Structure 1
Amino acid sequence: MTAMAVEPGLQWSYLLDTWRELDVPEGWRAEIDEGKIALVPPPGVGHNMIAEEVHWALKRCLPRSVGVYQTLGTEIVPLEKLYMPDLVVVDKALLDPEDSSVDAGAVMMAVEITSKDNARQDRTKKLWAYAHAPVPLYLLIDRFDPAGPTVTLFEEPENGAYRRTVRASFGEPVKLPDPFGVELVTKDFPAAAKTARK
């Protein structure tokens, strides 16, 4: 991950404008955190296989009025953060076709799939930020969990923390609550090899 520091005290709008104007290499993503714009490298094949499986499962259970996106900037304005979740679910009526991001308050669910280099951030910083947004559901697919690959669904955000957590190992189904009402099958999720980079 490469970070570009921004002078302290700059307005959020200036930082956001800088993010919008960046010429990001193809496949990379830019995120804003702690007054810095960080470039996140493209994920590996295993990561993309999981993203495709989850995307397909979500599209099958949602109405056409709800979109599932892989490259939608998600702003958490009070915290001056902007993340690019691996998948984000949003009612299409709340999107501005002329904008490059959406307010996290409009997000129904954010999905992050860990890579070796960003697993800690997905487990801590993003969990904290999504709970504060608040994003109603945060699905963390952790290929690099020290206890073995897991899927954790965080629900019911209140006062900056999720009150309910459902955790399952790869291979066990994960029930997504309404409005999804689907059981996410994880048996085909590829676990990360011990020596895998992403």
Structure 2
Amino acid sequence: MTDRPTTSGAEPGSFEDLLDTLDELDVPDGYRAGTVKGTVVLSPWSKGYYTRVMRLVCGQLEAYLPEGHVIERAPNLFVFPGAERAYGPGVHAADERVFDSDGTHLDGEALSFVTELTSSSTRDGDLTDKVRVYGRARTTKNPAP
């Protein structure tokens, strides 16, 4: 595997098929899977020093979260069916009820905050596609208070 995200060559028939592929994927150690622009993408896990940055972000924002929302660094996969995307942000805040699930695909509409820790290999997707998807998600059915 490389130090850069890699994409699959397979073209699933639907977004649901793509999510099924993610569930069945045997991901190599040190990598995580998500989707970008309709393909499965394997990305290397975060560098150790990102942990400090993520902890600082969480500590600074926790007091400002909407009521009932929690901030996490857990590797959760948030799904955006309307955009046919699924991302696992580095830091995320969401309505705590979204975590009352035994599933691995969490509702992206529950998010109130995301942080993506970018690197040279992920910067393009993090600052374009993900920004558009995250920015539109909450406004579609749950506008912020």
For normalisation by structure 1, the TM-score amounts to: 0.60
Secondary structure of residue in 2 paired with 1:109: strand
2:130 corresponds to which letter in structure 1?
K
Aligned-residue offset at 1:133: 1.6
Alignment of 1:101-140 (within 5 A): 101-134=105-138
Alignment of 1:136-175 (within 5 A): none
1:114 corresponds to which letter in structure 2?
T
- Distance (whole Å) between structure 2 residues aligned to residue 68 and residue 58 of structure 1: 11
Whether contact under 8 Å (2:27, 2:33) holds in the other structure is yes
Whether contact under 8 Å (2:93, 2:114) holds in the other structure is yes
Secondary structure of residue in 1 paired with 2:26: coil
Which structure has the higher relative contact order (CA within 8 Å, separation 6+)? 2
Select which of 56, 59, 63 maps to 1:56: 59
Alignment of 1:1-198 (within 5 A): 1-7=5-11, 10-59=13-62, 66-134=70-138
Gaps of 5+ in 2: none
Aligned-residue offset at 1:44: 1.9
Aligned-residue offset at 1:58: 3.5
Gaps of 5+ in 1: 135-156, 159-177, 180-198
Secondary structure of residue in 1 paired with 2:119: coil
Which residue does the alignment assign to 1:154? none
Aligned-residue offset at 1:59: 4.2
Deviations 1:65-123 (A, max 9, x none): 62424311111111111011001111222334211121211111111111121112211
Secondary structure of residue in 1 paired with 2:8: strand
Relative to its length, the structure with more helix (as a share) is 2
Relative to its length, the structure with more strand (as a share) is 1
- Distance (whole Å) between structure 2 residues aligned to residue 30 and residue 90 of structure 1: 21
Amino-acid identity (%): 28
- What's the C-alpha RMSD, in Å, of the aligned pairs? 2.5
- 1:65 and 1:129, CA in 2 relative to 1: closer, same or farther beyond 3 A? closer
For normalisation by structure 2, the TM-score amounts to: 0.79
Paired residues, what number?
137
Secondary structure of residue in 2 paired with 1:71: coil
